[in-house]
Amino acid sequence: MTVEVIEKIETFPLHYPEPHDSGKSRYITIVKIVTNEGRVGWGECIAQFPEAAMATATIIDSGLGEQIIGEDPTRSEHIWNLLRERNWWYGNGGIANFAVSAIDIAIWDLKGKIHDMPIYQLLGGKKSDEIKACASVIFDTENLEATHDEFLDYKNRGYKAVKGGWGKSKETAFGLNPDRDLKLVETIRNAVGPDVTFALDVGTHVAWTPQHAIEQIKKYEEYNIFWVEEPLPQFDLRGYEMLKSSINTPIASCEKEWNIEAFTNWIVSGLIDVVMPDPGKAEGITGFKKIVDLASVYGLGFTPHSWSSAINTAAALHLYTASNNGVNFELKPNPSPMQYELITTPIEQENGYVSPLEGPGLGIEIVEEIIEKYNMRLGA
């Protein structure tokens, strides 16, 4: 009996406009793995910048990819460990983790296709049919009337959860003007009403002190904030201790972390309530699953950070489906190239919920012409 093995790996650094960020350029790296039987698996990482997308592709083309040629793609844990061993020499984080993540997602896609079942079944089976969709956006901090109408539209479209953050520019970012920020929070809560959960993302354009964060978040609490996301700099553990003991609002964090070791430190600390791994940077599906399982042991919820392509969204959706501690599933609520053009059937919410993907592997069909359209190597 011939064993199906990995025969070829290709990378595609992509550049595309993101409508949810005022049309600004975004960058990802897509991986295509082909077996000796001609079966194809797809993976992706959120590289964010052009040099990172190209560097991720180089690490895979000239390093990590060579390590797994000839390997059986159904041995996902074995392959993940091989990649991690090589990754140690690159540094356990950053661009090297982008590469591991993209490969690992593609391996799981292949594994599901070989076994003819969706990834969530391989992860232990379906834990939830009701996956609450959250419209996740960069909000307009200046035009409150437009912001009100935008969030009212999400409610009217059926979303049962919304999240806003950052701001359209560094100069107008949320967190810089306390009076304006409070009015913005009030505006959004009035738009969606009391029954839609509303999470708040402080973003990275500001650096609150612990005392300022405490003062601000206490003002927001009358508006029933579902969580406040990354209100302090990543390494300010003492600040998080002060914050956690002073507010009632749950704290979400770890979008900036890269691996199980870093997530473990946060999970066992008792300083946060919700973890936010990204399958496109936190060592793929394998790494993500280890993180959320540990979070469950410590009573923490999770929401996937999945704000890149539909490949990432599909991977996150399988992980959410197979877990019992997911709290919200974030979606880009409006059409965008990597969500609506890249796959034949976009992943969308209906009546506030997202349905599990039931096809083999990731359960999505890639439109390869779109990869060519946005391929940086072809001039995109």
Which CATH number do you get for residue 111? 3.30.390.10
Residue 205 has pLDDT above 80, yes or no: no
Q: How far apart are CA 28 and CA 257, in angstroms?
A: 18
Q: Encode pLDDT of 195-204 as tens digits.
A: 999 999 997 7
Q: What is the pLDDT of residue 352?
A: 96
Q: Label residue 175 by pLDDT band (50, 70, 90).
A: confident
Mean pLDDT for the stretch of residues 342-363: 97
Listed range (46-50, 128-132, 229-233, 269-273) with the worst mean pLDDT: 128-132
Q: In whole angstroms, give the CA distance from residue 290 to residue 120.
A: 14
Distances (CA, A) of 248 to 39, 106, 244: 50, 40, 8
Q: Range of 261's domain?
A: 121-354
Is residue 183 a part of any domain in this protein?
Answer: yes
Are 101 and 238 found together in one domain? no
Q: Is residue 360 assigned to a domain?
A: no
Helix (H/G/I), strand (E/B), else coil: 306: coil
Residue 359 belongs to a domain: no
pLDDT digits (tens, 9 = 90+) for 60-97: 999 999 999 999 999 999 999 999 999 888 887 889 99
Contact 232, 266 (CB under 8 A): no
Q: What is the mean pLDDT of residues 169-174?
A: 83
**H or E stretch at 114:** helix 94-115
**What was the pLDDT predicted at 141?**
86
Mean pLDDT throughout 307-333?
A: 96
Q: What CA–CA distance (Å, rounded) separates 65 from 249?
A: 44
Instruction: Compute the distance between CA of residue 14 and CA of residue 377 in angstroms, rounded to an integer.
Output: 8
Percent of the chain with pLDDT over 90: 86
Residues 12 and 145 in one domain: no
Quote the mean pLDDT of the chain: 95
Pick from 253-257, 261-265, 273-277, 311-315: least confident:
253-257
Q: For 110-169, how does the pLDDT look when each residue is reduced to its tens digit (9 = 90+)?
A: 999 999 999 999 999 999 888 999 999 998 888 999 999 999 999 999 999 999 998 888
Q: Looking at the domain assignment, is residue 265 inside a domain?
A: yes
Flag whether 323 is in a domain.
Answer: yes
For residues 85 and 70, membership in a common domain is answered with yes
Which pLDDT belongs to residue 1? 67
Return d(Cα 95, Cα 282) in angstroms, integer: 11
- Asked if the structure places residue 361 within a domain, the reply is no
Kindly state whether residues 93 and 43 are assigned to the same domain.
yes
* Domain identity same for 84 and 205: no
Q: Are residues 151 and 108 in the same domain?
A: no
Residues 147 and 88 reside in one and the same domain: no
156 membership: H or E segment, kind and range: helix 144-156
Q: How far apart are CA 11 and CA 344, in angstroms?
A: 21
Per-residue pLDDT, averaged over 326-331, amounts to 96
**First-to-last C-alpha distance (Å) of the chain:** 44
Using only C-alpha atoms, the chain has a radius of gyration, in whole angstroms, of 20
Same domain, 111 and 126: no
Mark whether 101 and 141 lie in a shared domain: no
| CATH number of the domain that residue 335 is part of | 3.20.20.120
Order of strands, sheet of 6-18, starting from the edge strand that comes earlier in the sequence: 6-18, 24-35, 40-45
Query: Are 66 and 78 within one domain?
Result: yes
| 327 and 314 co-located in one domain | yes
Quick one: pLDDT at residue 128? 80
What does the angle CA 152 – CA 158 – CA 160 come to, to the nearest 5 degrees?
85
> Does some domain include residue 1?
no
Rounded Cα–Cα distance for residues 47 and 298 (Å): 30
Which parts of 139-280 are beta strand (E)? 161-165, 197-201, 225-229, 251-253, 274-275
Secondary element (H or E) of residue 136: strand 131-138
3-state secondary structure 39-92: CEEEEEECCCCHHHHHHHHHHHHHHHHHHHCCCCCCCHHHHHHHHHHHHHHHCC
> Does residue 266 form part of some domain?
yes
Largest CA distance in the chain: 70
The total of structural domains in the chain comes to 2
Q: Are residues 18 and 152 in the same domain?
A: no
The pair of structure tokens assigned to 120 is 């969530």
- 164-198 burial, b if ≥16 CB within 10 A, otherwise e? bbbbbeeebbbbeeeebbeebbbbbbebbeeebbb
Question: pLDDT tens for residues 11-42?
Answer: 999 999 999 988 999 999 999 999 999 999 99
